[in-house]
Structure 1
């Protein structure tokens, strides 16, 4: 979903801001619901993304699969490591990715989240919610 959001904005790469938009577009995960409940919406993230990263050239056609930026790759690596260290079985979740974006402090995704009121306290709250027994995070 992040790739699609990057393409919509005519970006040549998939960055942390696109992953964040992908989480919101998906909409059913614990992370997406947590963001929406805390006032972080897709439209606000898109607006902030254009302010921080810019909008692509009208005549530019983004690749079908825009490659990941270095920040985005580090987010994915962080999410995988976080999942492995947690001892929870299963796949990397949207919550893992969101926490990874928050951990990448110089990334556009982190800056967007901070501008929209996301904080270390919110990250801890999400981590607590996602680690509760019986918590379902697709």
Structure 2
């Protein structure tokens, strides 16, 4: 009987594990309650996953800044003989930076040694959240269509060729970047260079692959004017 009674008693290990689990759960609940009571979260809708990881948002912001800094360091934003100094040049929006970075990636996927206007166009569509991207999708210009047209016009690179990490811009792609910067300065708008500026820059390069692809998919001067009007409307946000 004594043996049977002893066998039903919780062991020291079980007690310690149970105590640790209870203490851990209480501590987690306390931290979670403190997080939910934070003044900066008042009126903000959150879910259980965000409550469990209060540092996630700050991590994402930090990561985005790191990516932006890396891309900007490789982004040729002005001509060597441009009258616009680096101090006067407008900043780039996050979506424009990501569009450019995705364009480089698309060029590498196609095994191209350079980043052309067609790659920047694909980058805008891959980013997908900018006003320019939404405008293209709404007018039937999709990533798959642009990619197919790119292969027709530019072709694919050699299968065994490895593109550089940052394929240099073609001459017409460089002019697109310059056009976007100059357009923002001439507009008198103190805002950032956006993906819409990049798209309008691609359309301005009439002999470029990007322009030819857009024209083949139904984009026109009227569409370009409509996009420019939308992007210049008060309250238009495309960061």
CA RMSD of aligned residues (A): 0.5
In structure 1, C-alpha distance between the alignment counterparts of 2:187 and 2:155, rounded to whole Å: 36
Question: Does 2:141 match 1:25?
Answer: no
In structure 2, C-alpha distance between the alignment counterparts of 1:11 and 1:124, rounded to whole Å: 31
Give the deviation of 1:90 after TM superposition: 2.3
Measured against aligned partners, the alpha-carbon deviations of 1:72-108 in whole angstroms (never above 9, x if no partner) come to: 0000000000000111112210000000000000000
Gaps of 5+ in 2: 1-101
In structure 1, C-alpha distance between the alignment counterparts of 2:146 and 2:196, rounded to whole Å: 17
TM-score by length of 1: 0.99
In terms of mean alpha carbon deviation, does 85-94 or 20-29 score higher? 85-94
Give the deviation of 1:20 after TM superposition: 0.2
Equivalent residue number for residue 126 of structure 1: 227
Equivalent residue number for residue 114 of structure 1: 215
TM-score by length of 2: 0.57
Q: Which has the larger radius of gyration?
A: 2
Give the deviation of 1:28 after TM superposition: 0.5
User: Map of 1:31-46 to 2, 5 A cutoff?
Assistant: 31-46=132-147
Give the deviation of 1:132 after TM superposition: 0.3
Q: Provide the secondary structure at the position in 2 that maps to 1:14.
A: coil
Give the deviation of 1:44 after TM superposition: 0.3
In structure 1, C-alpha distance between the alignment counterparts of 2:153 and 2:127, rounded to whole Å: 23
In structure 1, C-alpha distance between the alignment counterparts of 2:130 and 2:160, rounded to whole Å: 34
- Which consecutive aligned stretches of 4+ in structure 1 deviate over 3 angstroms post-superposition? none
Q: Provide the secondary structure at the position in 1 that maps to 2:212.
A: helix
Give the deviation of 1:137 after TM superposition: 1.5
